[in-house]
Structure 1
């Protein structure tokens, strides 16, 4: 009996042949340039990761077969990170892409870069996929060091990183990528100096970002903290800062110590705040509403809602 040959088997055989590490040692009638082989492998890798991040696989076996054909394992826990290290560029799309490519090379070649790291340029961002073998605190240090190197090498100060949750299976890559994008955008707002934001550390911010009805967010701000913002703007006051410190502490003496003011001064400010926002600061619900209003204000400009 002749063995049954399918299109899928032929495709996998060709991909395996073209990307095999030992290919350069095989004697061929016509030697293919190494650069052509490297470009071919790079293209296959990028196509695979695009499908993985877009959720284009329909089964575990399909994803596993594609990964195996290029010598990758996807059963280990991975993380997806999205990097914005370019900012605004004067000089057109070509220069922008050149900077992205050079930044990408600096990141993946850095001695502190995570092991088994794969990179992909998607739109204006550099997407990194790597085995999750470090604690979050260690990743913070790793990416800060990489960011310093990129800033020196590219003479650019911007370096923001958003990191999604660790994957448990092949289906989680799409979610981790989406989470990394969310973490990046929130991090750029909360940390203007440039930091690393893990999606799972963003708490209520990540829920607020999922709300599509921006008018509802603006209305909520107007009903809670916007009157206080406007009062501070007119009087060059610090009542918003005082309210945040009080809500995050919950204790008047700790709040007074943090703000370096007398407790009586704090008491006066809290009474003034309650009068302006028309809320009871002794009510857990009112305190929660006010804190939510402050969080919305952190990531959304009320004039653009």
Structure 2
């Protein structure tokens, strides 16, 4: 009888849910239906939409939601499997993952006190959440597909903008759908998002579909963070134009945009529910903020340079990088003539590199730290985790190889630049030495 009773209640809930969604196709409607049916606190935690708690019980509800989200952060990926969390206030939270495009994008859940749950009741709650989660997935997928169709109209514009093919800026803004502003202005920043997959893959595996899913998710995340965007996916690279309307201080607004771009990249990396044998690394590079759409092409070249520099400096880069943070590497990368960079490195660091190649101590690292510590022997020794006496021996060797005047301003500057240049051409130089 109990089973039949619960089945009847499930059918009733399913009917109520369908009727509610027909009237208002929003996730909030699903959560409200869940709350009213169970009389329990219901939660919604999302990376693409604002999270909320029903009923909105003031600070207590916010604290409950915040704690649940913090615990979720530490949870290993579970796919579609429901999650049970125990909160400090004595509540138990049951969460149903809501998936879309192969990614877990949100969770819908119920919070109950200990005396409100028992074995059979927990099973029933799980079934309710399964119904609610599937309904939420249908709404979410519908929204993502509609957004994708809208973006397809703009895709043909992205190539022209990022490669500088803009005959008339006002006309291009109108084609994008951006109205002319009587007050304030638009900010533009271009980006390149690299999707690197590694690991075993099934025979016949194509990354086209998964990459398209990530592109759709990226578009949604950017929109959620208030950044209008156009993107174009080609192979494993998402070419991106971000647009933000601003009325205040331009630099302050840019800092907010950077913070949003970092957060979006972080969420994009966390959202992937990949097969255990496969790993995905996402690296996003962004150029300078521009006040004109015509300059978006320059921002795009800067974004590509930021990615290229980071990939030269790091073995397996991931996350977001900004061209403006590349420092001296901006100039070194722009030279483009690798042979000239190698010649510059050899002329200033040649003796040190030859000494190390012959099996000597790593004096290049010692020199780098010594210069960055402004000649402080104590700080240099601490950074290198060596005794002061060991450092003195290395500094004597540096004097011998470089000459005692290497700390004079002009020579010091050349050495510091040469060390950074070596980071970019190290692989080429090592290849030449091996031949």
Q: Which category describes the TM-score, using the shorter chain as reference length?
A: 0.7 to 0.9
Structure 1, unaligned runs of 5 or more: 1-35
1 CA distance for matches of 2:315 and 2:271?
Answer: 19
**1:86 pairs with 2:196:** yes
**1:59 pairs with 2:168:** yes
One of 286, 293, 296 as aligned partner of 1:170 = 293
Once structures 1 and 2 are overlaid, which stretch shifts more, 174-183 or 292-301? 292-301
Cα RMSD, aligned residues only: 3.3
Corresponding residue for residue 18 of structure 1: none
Corresponding residue for residue 270 of structure 2: 148
TM-score, normalised on structure 1? 0.75
**How far has the Cα of 1:125 moved from its partner?**
0.8
Corresponding residue for residue 122 of structure 2: none
**How far has the Cα of 1:81 moved from its partner?**
1.7
Instruction: Mark the CA change 1:227 to 1:95 in structure 2 (over 3 Å): closer, same or farther.
Output: farther
2 CA distance for matches of 1:126 and 1:233?
Answer: 40
**How far has the Cα of 1:67 moved from its partner?**
2.6
**How far has the Cα of 1:37 moved from its partner?**
9.2
2 CA distance for matches of 1:190 and 1:87?
Answer: 19
2 CA distance for matches of 1:106 and 1:38?
Answer: 10
Once structures 1 and 2 are overlaid, which stretch shifts more, 237-246 or 42-51? 42-51
Secondary structure, in 3 states, of the residue corresponding to 1:231? helix
Instruction: Mark the CA change 1:42 to 1:107 in structure 2 (over 3 Å): closer, same or farther.
Output: closer
**How far has the Cα of 1:276 moved from its partner?**
2.2
**How far has the Cα of 1:228 moved from its partner?**
1.8
TM-score, normalised on structure 2? 0.54
The answer to whether the 8 Å contact 2:188/2:243 transfers is: yes
1 CA distance for matches of 2:146 and 2:221?
Answer: 24
Corresponding residue for residue 179 of structure 1: 302
Structure 2, unaligned runs of 5 or more: 1-144, 245-252
Corresponding residue for residue 53 of structure 2: none
Instruction: Mark the CA change 1:64 to 1:131 in structure 2 (over 3 Å): closer, same or farther.
Output: closer
2 CA distance for matches of 1:37 and 1:148?
Answer: 24
Corresponding residue for residue 214 of structure 2: 103
The answer to whether the 8 Å contact 2:198/2:280 transfers is: no
Once structures 1 and 2 are overlaid, which stretch shifts more, 80-89 or 290-299? 80-89
**How far has the Cα of 1:38 moved from its partner?**
7.7
Corresponding residue for residue 139 of structure 1: 261
The answer to whether the 8 Å contact 1:187/1:196 transfers is: no
1 CA distance for matches of 2:212 and 2:237?
Answer: 10
Greater per-residue strand proportion:
2
1 CA distance for matches of 2:374 and 2:287?
Answer: 31
1 CA distance for matches of 2:156 and 2:408?
Answer: 54
Instruction: Mark the CA change 1:57 to 1:225 in structure 2 (over 3 Å): closer, same or farther.
Output: same
Instruction: Mark the CA change 1:279 to 1:48 in structure 2 (over 3 Å): closer, same or farther.
Output: farther
Structure having the higher Rg: 2
Q: Which has the higher contact order (CA 8 A, sep 6+)?
A: 1
**1:234 pairs with 2:358:** yes
Corresponding residue for residue 410 of structure 2: 285
Corresponding residue for residue 331 of structure 2: 207
